Structure 1
Amino acid sequence: MKPSVSSLYQAVELQQEIPPLLIGERANSNGSKKFRELLLADDFESCLKIAQEQEAKGAHIIDLCTAYAGRDELADMTTLVQMCAGSVKAPLMIDSTTPECIEACLKLYPGRCIINSINLEDGGANLRRICGAAKKYGAAVVALTINEQGMAMTAADKLAIAKEIYAIAVEELGLRPSDLLFDCLTFTVGSGDENLRDAAIHTIEGIKLVKKELPGTLTVLGLSNISFGLAPKARRILNSVFLHEAVEAGLDAAIVDAAKILPLARISQEDREVCLDLLFDRTAGQEPKPLMRFIEHFSDRADDDFDEEKGSGRTPEEQLFHHVVTGDKDGLEDILPVLMERYKPLAIINQMLVPAMRHVGELFGKGEILLPFVLQSAEVMKRSVTLLEPFMDKIDGESATKILLATVQGDVHDIGKNLVDIILSNNGYKVYNLGIKIPAEAIIEKAKEYDVDLIGLSGLLVKSAIVMQESMAQYKAAGLKTPIMLGGAALTPKFVAESCVPGYDGPVVYCRDAFAGLKAVREFEDGTLTSTVFDRITSVEAMKPGVKDAAIDRDVPVPTPPFIGQRYVEAIDPQELFPLVNIQALFRGRWGYRRGKMGAEEYSELLTTTVQPIYDGLIEQSLEQHLIAPKVSYGYFSCYSKDNTVFIEADGTTYPFAFPRQTEAPHLCIADYFKTKEEGGDIAGFFVVTIGEKMAETTARLYDTDAYHDYLMLHGFSVEVTDALAEYWHAKMREELGIGDTNVQGVVTQGYQGSRYGFGYPACPDMDVHKPLFAFLKPEKIGVSLTENMQMVPEQTTSAIVVHHPQAKYFAV
């Protein structure tokens, strides 16, 4: 499982797919004059608004600090932590050096926090207290490279202190390496102090050393210190360039004002070089010195002087390249005939279109372009090839590398596979997309028939990963040695390396996403493709599975349900669901409109002018075309727990639901939240909800007609609307049980109690429980069926067990 933190609303991975993790720094009484003045005026609502504004501008985490002379830090922090818990989706960083304050906040916050910070300034006494609280409440910790002699200045000293902290926090106190975010500290290069001319160099080198010498740990940096003392406009550029260099060195997270970071693509090469001269003390000894050159260079810079030149007078070759990179289909019919007067169609594809798509992939990898725009570029590529095809010889393209793609047997999810198809086919490769639920026998048959060079297999949930593992023996027995690429949400490099690679004679490669698949294909062409390997990091402390150390209250009263048994509900207005759609998850996660290296204003404009209108248009389309038909099968059932199993009594039959237990503290299991038979038994709720088949049919048509961008948009929208339906019905069930006051608009009050756990997800990954669930909920009547791998059809369907216990929370095993 990837190291993450969480709020009441969402989990955030500490290692972002496109680094760094951005930690908003403005809700800090020491770093923000505005925040401090609001705090001194006891204007907590406005303090909260600053946190919310940072989230809107792209911060993944919000740093919260209220320490200030004359104020009651404990009272201020606990007040704001509670307010943020209910109103800010981004997880919190508790910024305090007072153990009592930190622990009070951890008790209140309904998620996993980061603590900022620990150090060895007092020899480790405070560190031990704070790490003890982090261990107890499951928090991550920022560790500053400071000891009794002060702040580490050199890279070697930074590493030495980091190792000391690691020894105490991990080896002595039992934190995991991934619980530590080391801050190697940086000092300004803008003061003119000769002793600090190499400050950035030592910080960059310190990050590299920590990542190398302390594997599994993470790194963080208070970014803006590097430019302290310089003009605001120049600081913005220097900070942005320094951030890029730090990320290249291995930086995982940055404490920044997200609104003041520029995407590197918007900084001219000349500006970059001047910044790099200062950061790395280049051309030292020359006059003027790097600092003076930097000051002079930016002395008359306007704040909005960051736009790239639009360019004019492009050649037709450059125009086509630009069309692909910008995703602009208009005018292709005029450009391509001109180019065909000078080039053969295949030359246009290989020498212009494919390099343009590769450049798009490179920009995506750097975080300078977002996934929706990649798909728009792919549409330009596809349209261009379609226009060129009538003029191509039959032999054209026959030598292209051939890849077979399939979603494995029993799995109905195809969005990941189809994205791989889009990226590969529009980079000049021949792709055979077999579709979903493809058995190993068919994959073997088609791989031989098409004589493919690579095989790509996809699957979303845990069961699909097992299918991939078990099918390796079949591919081996069939004599295949074709490289196999594996991808899907349930896969990890460790699983592929240890469970799939040994069972097959050819290379088996873990691919995190479509661009990792593209990289694997290119490595195959270069003759460098090898199987995935996993470097195991030995755990310092391993606790036996099955140990219970979570204190679950056994005296919680059992609510009285309105009925016992199963019911159907179909009269649900789709407009009731839209207020519950998780906009952040949709825009950033499903659609890929992440801020990345984009400036805050630019990102805000993108959301306002592009993303929100797409969302509004999909709501209108779904209502006009009746794409959403919400239906529910649900019920309440008597039950009791024993060890890790909940026994459900329905229709005269007892159905066992076995749940896994965490192997690390606090060793939670869903069964812990239910009373045993000896305690009098309990009540469990279950539901299956679906928005129907029409949405899936519509997304399939978009994909088949090469409308890649619209396909991604509608598919992501449908998944989040399905999740909104699940949240809507969970609210209804809490209302029926008398344990929550969440109204249909999704306003969560302090009456919210319990949790819902979706089958196939972190706390209950086993999909086989769908078999007993279908036996007593009978969702076939609302059009839902099961595949042989226990996955539900239509894809836009979800299921869950509803737990009423007030301590029930989300966790992973």
Structure 2
Amino acid sequence: MKPSVSSLYQAVELQQEIPPLLIGERANSNGSKKFRELLLADDYQACLKIAVEQENKGAHVIDLCTAYAGRDELKDLTTLVSLCAASLKAPLMIDSTTPECIEACLRIYPGRAIVNSVNLEDGGVNLRRVCKAAKKYGAAVVALTIDQQGMAMTSGDKIRIAKEIHAIAVDECGLRPQDLLFDCLTFTVGSGDENLRTAAMDTMEGIRLIKSELPGCLTVLGLSNISFGLSPQARRVLNSVFLHEAVCAGLDAAIVDAAKIIPLARIPEEDREVCLDLLLNREGEGEKNPLMRFIEYFSDKTAAADEGDEANEKTVEEQLFNKVMDGDKDGLEDLLAILRQRFKPINIINQILVPAMRHVGELFGKGEILLPFVLQSAEVMKVSVSLLEPYMEKAESDTTTKILLATVQGDVHDIGKNLVDIILSNNGYKVYNIGIKMPVETIIEKAKEYKVDMIGLSGLLVKSALVMQDSMPQYREAGLRVPIMLGGAALTPKFVAESCVPKYEGPVVYCSDAFAGLRAAQQFEEGTLKATEYDEATAIKPMKPGVKVLEIDRSNPVPQAPFVGQRYVENVDPSELFALINEQALFRGRWGYRRAKMEAEEYRELIEGKVRPLYKTLIEKSVAEGWLQPKVSYGYFSCHSKENDLIVEAEGKEHIFTFPRQAEAPFLCIADYFKTEKEGGDVAGFFVVTIGDIIAKEIAKLYEADSYHDYLMLHGFSVEVTDALAEYWHRKMRKELSLGGDDGDVVTQEYQGSRYGFGYPACPDLDAHKPLFAFLKPEGIGVSLTENMQMVPEQTTSAIVAHHPQAKYFAV
């Protein structure tokens, strides 16, 4: 006798003569908005009508699910099982994760039902209980390939878990192989996730393996997952093609809306091939991957006549997920109000919002989404959480991993730290961002007060890296053992591994960017986080003594300085600076609008249609609102070099600048570009420029308001305007020294000389600011120094101007 299920009125074979068995999916509180609303209104008769409609549209079996937060599932499910039993010819699939509900329904159902579903997520506790009930009442069981490690992704894991379930259900509990319908699970091929490009193939191979290695067992599939995230009309076609391919692989049953499956013969051959390219991960010709070709192909297709049918509507969960993906805040309150009726707020965060943000992070890591759009997604996450927080119990909000973030003592830079805060907090972590210039003692105190699980330290320049290194023993002596993440431009894996890891007993981890911090936090939760290691074989060897440096010709004439000493300039017109802004550095570097995997034309449209208008708006607003207050302290001073030192004479005193020399050829050092005392001495120019602190206050307001995208845009703009001011003033100084190179805004010839910013690659030691401040006195334009020799406001930069014809930019 063929394996069958039955209602009060008829039996239905599980293996249809023309497969598959179609299981109607719309009488489900999780998959149908209409069914859910009727259930909430206690309108059982209308709920029954949806089940009847599914039967009339060709479903062989009706899936019935009433699970909903705040509802009495036992009452709802047993009531509807009784109604369906009396009214439906089609047998029922009782869809619940609660053994008590399953047993109660099997007890009252007059036919042979299917139970949906069991798995090994809890090690087999519920599996054994449900299988014993199925044996007692003669039911079939859907078994999902899930174990304690999660959902099986590969065909190997799918068959392994299926065999483990088979051993328990058949050998222990006494079910027959034909009583088991294995759901190999499928994942969307529409997300762009590289790990899911073979999802359809893995599922089909899993079906083949189960059919061949577990004789007698059947297979079932929740079909629509394959197309999650794609347009409704494209989903219908892809689902239909996938169903055909899965049946060819051995699929016996599919949970689907039968009315929305298109016979393969009615699908145009070109449509089928585009779908098969995506399902089988066929690259084909051209640069576009199968997903991009699929999306572009169906973007021009008109929706089917019944596009507005409920089957094509996205569920509320899908809508919220897509809101995060799209960075769209409109309508969030209504979506969350609906979801709160079904789920606890903490479950909405953990099961929808956090997975959406992590998917955004994965796409960013693959270059498929740009940083500004990541921040827009983070804004949606932040708003959603704030709307849910009033409904959360305090205990729920205290269960997440807690991370303390700080910029180290003496360091005023916070953009890196704040980006880490944004990414971590919007991926479900509790972040304590305690600010900039934080002493070690305060960090230790706050880490203990908040009982944090991890610490993240940030610092931009070399001095900050040394502070991190020197602070490690203090954290150890304070009894801390939590992982410490270190990030900043001056850090390297070698420095962290050799200078920081040995001085602390917990893991010390180098994080190159915010997403590296996220990966570290995830590894901590998984128990796989390790301290940063470094391969000694790749270490750069130090310069050997006695190596001859590059010869610099110092026979050049010394230019006549227009004055000797220091002067202030406080009337710089901001409009003079915008033509000197490096747009590539701003758009691609500061803002993150890189081409990545976009086509050239698509990228051009992004820049011209979105980025440049934003840039223009910031220019206009910065002038209209008075955000920019450019000021300069500069001067020319007599000087002479002595090996790696430059001795500057100012106000009757000598001020010594010691510059580093390159460890490899051509072994350059800034001091080489200035004449020695024996050669008659030289002249050096210096400047400190700032655009003031008004714009810094505007940036801080945006961050406090959780306007992450606008925060990044304005901060990046402020940095590049500061650099433009430095270039503008360097041009003025070249002109005053008669070095040529520009006439107003027009470059007339290749200019002579170079400027070297303190704290940058040619002279990274910020201790040079101490003698610089002694004779330039930039306090007069509102600039001060931290104990780490960094300048405040952050939108400030300094430099030495060398006039030598051979002076070029370099790094040590």
Q: Which of the five TM-score ranges fits, normalised by the shorter chain?
A: 0.5 to 0.7
1:161 is aligned to none
Pair 683,482 (structure 1): closer, same or farther in 2 beyond 3 Å: same
Cα separation, 2, equivalents of 1:275 and 1:442: 53
Give the CA deviation at 1:346.
Answer: 1.2
Q: Deviations over 1:117-141 (max 9, x none)?
A: xxxxxxxxxxxxxxxxxxxxxxxxx
Render the CA deviation track for 1:569-588: whole Å, top value 9, x for unaligned.
01111000000000000000
1:604, CA displacement in angstroms?
0.6
State the 1:540 CA deviation. Answer: 9.4
**Larger CA Rg, structure 1 vs 2:** 2
Aligned mates of 1:699, 1:343 — CA distance in 2: 37
Alpha-carbon distance in 2 for matches of 1:570, 1:548: 45
Conserved? CA contact 1:473–1:503, under 8 Å: yes
Which residue in 2 is equivalent to 1:433?
433
Change (3 A) 1:502 1:767: same
Q: What does 1:182-581 align with in structure 2 at a 5 Å threshold?
A: 270-271=276-277, 276=282, 305=297, 313-538=313-538, 543-544=543-544, 547-581=547-581
Is the partner of 1:623 in helix, strand or coil? helix
CA distance in 2, matches of 1:685, 1:728: 14
Is contact 1:546–1:663 with CA below 8 Å preserved after alignment?
no
In 2, Cα distance between the equivalents of 1:701 and 1:443? 24
Alignment match, 1:761: 760
The answer for the alignment partner of 2:792 in structure 1 is: 793
- SS of the residue aligned with 2:394? coil
1:542 CA displacement? 6.5
Contact 1:548-1:666 within 8 A present in 2 as well: no
Correspondence for 1:780: 779
SS at match of 2:457: strand
Decide whether the 8 Å contact of 2:645 with 2:671 is kept in 1. yes
Shift of 1:274: 6.9
Q: Percent identity?
A: 70
**Aligned equivalents of 2:540, 2:562: Cα separation in 1:** 49
Alignment-mate amino acid for residue 764 of structure 1: C
Q: Distance in 2 between matches of 1:479 and 1:636?
A: 52
Separation in 1 of the partners of 2:280 and 2:440?
57
C-alpha change, 1:744 and 1:370, in structure 2 (3 Å) is farther
The answer for the alignment partner of 2:680 in structure 1 is 680
What letter matches 2:794 in structure 1? E
Q: Which residue of 1 aligns with 2:747?
A: 748
1:744-767 C-alpha deviation (Å, 9 max, x unpaired): 43x433241111000001010000
Cα offset for 1:548? 3.8
The answer (yes or no) to whether the contact 1:501–1:507 under 8 Å persists in 2 is yes
The 3-state SS of whatever aligns with 2:595 is coil
Task: Write the letter of the residue equivalent to 2:698.
Answer: T
The 3 A distance-change label for structure 1 pair 438 and 277 is: closer
Partner AA of 1:760 in structure 2: G
In the alignment, what sits opposite 1:250?
A: none
Work out whether residues 462 and 490 of structure 1, in 8 Å CA contact, stay in contact via their aligned partners in 2.
yes
CA contact (8 A) 2:702 2:710 kept: yes
Alignment of 1:599 onto 2:607: no
Distance 1:329 1:684, change over 3 A: same
Residue identity opposite 1:486 in structure 2:
L
- Is the contact between residue 731 and residue 743 of structure 1 (CA under 8 Å) also seen in structure 2? no
Deviations 1:485-534 (A, max 9, x none): 00000000010001110111110000000000000001000111110001
Partner of 1:140: none
Seen in structure 2, the aligned counterparts of structure 1 residues 803 and 610 have a Cα distance that, compared at 3 Å, is same
CA contact (8 A) 1:741 1:751 kept: yes
SS of corresponding position for 1:640 = strand
Per the alignment, do residues 406 and 490 of structure 1 end up closer, same or farther by CA in structure 2, a change over 3 Å counting?
Answer: same
1:183-211 deviations in whole A, cap 9, x for unaligned? xxxxxxxxxxxxxxxxxxxxxxxxxxxxx
Q: Show CA shifts across 1:161-180 (max 9, x none).
A: xxxxxxxxxxxxxxxxxxxx
Cα offset for 1:686? 0.2
SS at match of 2:537: coil
Q: CA deviation at 1:396?
A: 1.9
Is the CA contact (8 Å cut-off) linking 2:408 and 2:436 kept in structure 1?
yes
Deviation at 1:394, TM superposition (A): 2.2
Kept in 1, the 8 Å contact 2:274–2:294? The answer is: no
One-letter amino acid of the counterpart of residue 659, structure 2: F
Contact 2:278 2:294 in 1 (8 A): no
Q: Are 1:731 and 1:740, in contact at CA under 8 Å, matched by a contact in 2?
A: no
Tell me the alpha carbon deviations over residues 57-96 of structure 1, each in whole angstroms, 9 at most, x when there is no partner.
xxxxxxxxxxxxxxxxxxxxxxxxxxxxxxxxxxxxxxxx
Deviations 1:3-57 (A, max 9, x none): xxxxxxxxxxxxxxxxxxxxxxxxxxxxxxxxxxxxxxxxxxxxxxxxxxxxxxx
**Letter of the 1:399 counterpart:** T
Q: For residues 520-568 of structure 1, give each alpha carbon's deviation from its aligned partner in whole angstroms, at most 9, with x where no partner exists.
A: 0010001111100011335798742573432311111110010000000
1:719 partnered with 2:722: no
Q: Is the 8 A contact 2:277 2:283 kept in 1?
A: no
Q: Closer, same or farther in 2 for the Cα pair 1:589/1:306, shift >3 Å?
A: farther
Alpha-carbon shift at residue 701 of structure 1 (Å): 0.8
Cα 1:735–1:273 shift into 2, 3 Å: farther
Tell me which residue corresponds to 1:81: none
Distance (Å, rounded) in 2 between the aligned partners of 1:542 and 1:497: 18
Contact 1:482–1:507 (CA under 8 A) maintained in structure 2: yes
Q: Counterpart amino acid of 1:704?
A: E
Identify if the C-alpha distance between structure 1 residues 631 and 389 changes in structure 2 by more than 3 Å, giving closer, same or farther: same
In structure 2, C-alpha distance between the alignment counterparts of 1:353 and 1:732, rounded to whole Å = 53
Q: Distance in 2 between matches of 1:303 and 1:387?
A: 33
What whole-Å deviation, never above 9, does each CA across 1:447-481 have from its counterpart, x for those lacking one? Answer: 11111000000000010000000000111111111
TM score, norm. by length of structure 2: 0.63
Contact 1:492–1:510 (Cα < 8 Å) also in 2: yes
The structure-2 alpha-carbon separation of the partners of 1:302 and 1:493, relative to structure 1 and needing over 3 Å to count, comes to: closer
- Distance in 1 (CA, whole Å) between partners of 2:278 and 2:547 is 55
Amino acid at match of 1:508: V
CA distance 1:307–1:542, shift in 2 (3 Å): farther
> 1:303 and 1:440 mapped to 2: Cα distance?
52
User: 2:554–2:675: 8 Å Cα contact kept in structure 1?
Assistant: yes
Tell me the TM-score normalised to structure 1 length.
0.63
- CA offset at residue 624 of structure 1? 1.2
Match of residue 811 from structure 1: 810
Question: Are the equivalent residues in 2 in contact too, given 1:755–1:808 (CA < 8 A)?
Answer: yes
- How many Å apart are 1:308 and its aligned residue? 9.7
* Secondary structure at 2:396 match in 1: coil
Tell me the C-alpha RMSD between the 2 structures.
2.4
SS of equivalent residue, structure 1 residue 396? helix
Classify 1:543/1:766 alpha carbon distance in 2 versus 1 (closer, same or farther; 3 Å). Answer: closer
Q: How does 1:623-642 map to 2 (within 5 A)?
A: 623-642=623-642
Give 1:609 deviation, angstroms. 1.0
1:377-420: CA deviations, max 9, x gaps? 00000011111112222222211000000000000000000000
Q: Provide the C-alpha distance between the structure 2 equivalents of 1:540 and 1:475, rounded to a whole number of angstroms.
A: 29
Which secondary structure state, in structure 1, belongs to the residue aligned with residue 719 of structure 2? helix
Distance 1:669 1:388 in 2: 58
Q: Deviations over 1:188-244 (max 9, x none)?
A: xxxxxxxxxxxxxxxxxxxxxxxxxxxxxxxxxxxxxxxxxxxxxxxxxxxxxxxxx
Partner AA of 1:759 in structure 2: F
In 2, Cα distance between equivalents of 1:327 and 1:268: 29
Distance of 1:343 and 1:755 partners within structure 2? 63
Q: CA deviation at 1:272?
A: 5.9
